Amino acid sequence: MNEPIAIVGMGCRFPGAAGPDALWELLDTRGDAVVGAAPAARFDAAELYDPVPRRRGRLVSLAGGFLGSEEFDPGFFGVSEREAAVLDPQHRVLLTTTRDALADAGLDGVEGREIGVFMGQSTGEHWDSRQGTADMYAIAGAAARSMASGRISYAWDLRGPCATVDAACSSGTLAVHLACQSLRTGECDTAVAGGVSLVLGTDHTLGYSAAGMLSPTGRCRFGDEDADGFVRSDGAGVVVLKRLGQALADGDRVHALILGSAQASKGRTAKAIIAPSVEGYLQVIARACAQAGIAPAEIGYVEAHGNAAPAGDVVELQAISAAIGSGRPAGQPCLVGSVKSNIGHPEAAGGLAGLLKTALVVRERRIPATLHCPRPTSAVDWAGLALASSPVEWPYPGRALAGVSTYGLSGTFVHLVVGGL
């Protein structure tokens, strides 16, 4: 059963964007929310800075995208004061973002309903800082990623399927894919899906810096000749989903539709476990388009994984060119872009940032500019493709169709096909 899935509610917390309207304003005005250093209340990394790349125990850049502090009412979410004292800040942000998404969907009185909850979380830096705290409150509050979804189901007394998934940077989009499957099989009639990631310590950042993955210039330059790595950032995104028929029957406002979704592993089609492969991208794009009932060449825009890893960008762009860029009419390239140029890379929530951006793109029929990419990389044949380096109204007649791609270093690809109503 391939009924489209309607996005009826959206909520988010990204750098410079506390909510979908603020996210669209940031994107539409070419906003850049990447700043110089993490808030001092989290950690002081200044003494770790060293501009020489790949030095162990040193950070090649202090740049990042960070969320500010926000009031949190533990009682509203069924969290005791003792639990709140050790609660993972990622779960705080996810709870408040879910509250906003449910409000955007106009959902209240949901207690006891079989609503599914699917969340993506990859890192646990809060727990890393609490090692040695042998306390069940600490374990449930800080250590268990499963609580990312469990706390949401508990807070609203939701009794449908409930799961947290970890597929590195594909975690959030994998959660959305699983939610779509659950809806299509009738396991639930409403689903809440999302992802979260906060930069709470230096360990992961030090590892990325030593591996040469962080941008020394402090910017995500997707698809550019000078792409030099990514910038870590905070973020949380949540969507409320229903089958289209159910959404229309309920009189819901529909932001956009997920027409198809797919996930796959690349297996051993790349030389290293963390490296992407063209074959992996091609597989999920083909599957998602088949489920959507469209030809890949009908897609007019792709929100790429696009974290500005030079080799990774080239692999992804080669795959998009082969799958979507080939066979297009002359003068009608598929545009590609990346929200990470505006907000940095929120890792497990990166795909949700891409999905929310793309839902807004097809709803508004306008493609914002991808920043920091004045010189498209010469390592890619751009026939049939073009970087969305300038804002443009949706350039093609008919229904707006777009793709959202993510890749997790565990080898997991996810692709979503998004369309207007």
Tokens 């709870």 locate to 95
In whole angstroms, give the CA distance from residue 175 to residue 352: 10
Q: Split the chain (421 residues) into runs of 10 and give each run's mean pLDDT.
A: 94 98 99 90 87 95 92 92 87 97 97 98 75 59 80 97 98 99 98 97 93 97 98 98 98 99 97 95 98 97 97 97 92 97 98 99 99 97 96 95 98 98 89
In whole angstroms, give the CA distance from residue 137 to residue 178: 29
pLDDT at 38: 87
Please check whether residue 235 is in contact with residue 350, taking contact to mean a CB–CB distance below 8 angstroms.
Answer: yes
pLDDT at 364: 98
In whole angstroms, give the CA distance from residue 145 to residue 167: 12
Q: What is the C-alpha end-to-end distance of the chain, expressed in Å?
A: 19
Evaluate if pTM is beyond 0.85: yes
pLDDT at 132: 58
How many other C-beta atoms can be found within 10 angstroms of the C-beta atom of residue 147?
24
DSSP 14-61: BTTBSSHHHHHHHHHTT----BSS--TTT---GGGB-SSTT-TT-BS-
Helix then strand then coil, % of the chain, to nearest 5: 35, 20, 45
Domains of the chain: 5-249 (3.40.47.10), 263-419 (3.40.47.10)
Going by C-alpha positions, the residue among 411, 400, 417 that lies closest to residue 273 is 411
pLDDT at 404: 99
- What tokens does 295 get? 């030809």
Residue 178 phi, psi dihedral angles, 5° rounding: -65, -35
In whole angstroms, give the CA distance from residue 24 to residue 146: 31
Sort 313 into a burial class: Cβ within 10 Å, 0-12 / 13-18 / 19+.
Answer: buried
